[in-house]
Amino acid sequence: RNVREYLSICRVGFPSLIRQGLTSVTVGLLNNVTKPFGDAAIAAMSVVSKYAQFLMCVGLGMGQGFQPVASFNYRARKFDRVKKGLVFLMIFALIVIGGASTVSIFMAPQIIRIFQKAPEVVAVGTTALRNYSFGMIFMSFSVPVNMLYQSIQKPTISSILSMIRSGAVTIPILLIGVPLLGLPVIQTAQPIADVLAGFISIPFILHFLRKDHNE
| Residue ranges in the chain assigned as alpha helix (H) | 2-34, 39-75, 79-106, 108-115, 119-137, 139-151, 155-163, 170-181, 183-210
Q: Residue 19 contacts by C-beta under 8 Å, 6 or more apart in sequence?
A: 162, 165, 166
Distances (CA, A) of 74 to 9, 103, 169: 17, 36, 31
Count of residues in the chain: 215
Q: Are 18 and 162 in contact (CB under 8 A)?
A: yes
**What was the pLDDT predicted at 214?**
64
Q: What's the DSSP call for residue 118?
A: -
Mean residue pLDDT across the chain: 88
Please give the distance of CA 18 from its chain centroid, rounded to a whole number: 12
pLDDT value of position 43 = 93
Kindly calculate the radius of gyration of the chain based on its CA atoms and give it in whole angstroms: 19
20 falls in which pLDDT band (50, 70, 90)? confident
Dist. CA 74–CA 81, nearest whole Å: 8
pLDDT mean over 100-122? 93
Cβ contact 131:187 at 8 Å: yes
Whether 154 has a pLDDT exceeding 90, the answer reads no
Q: What pLDDT score was predicted for residue 215?
A: 57
Please state the pTM of the whole predicted model: 0.88
Query: Which residue, 91, 211, 93, is CA-closest to 152?
Result: 211
Q: What is the mean pLDDT of residues 34-53?
A: 91
pLDDT tens across 84-107, in order?
999 999 999 999 999 999 999 999
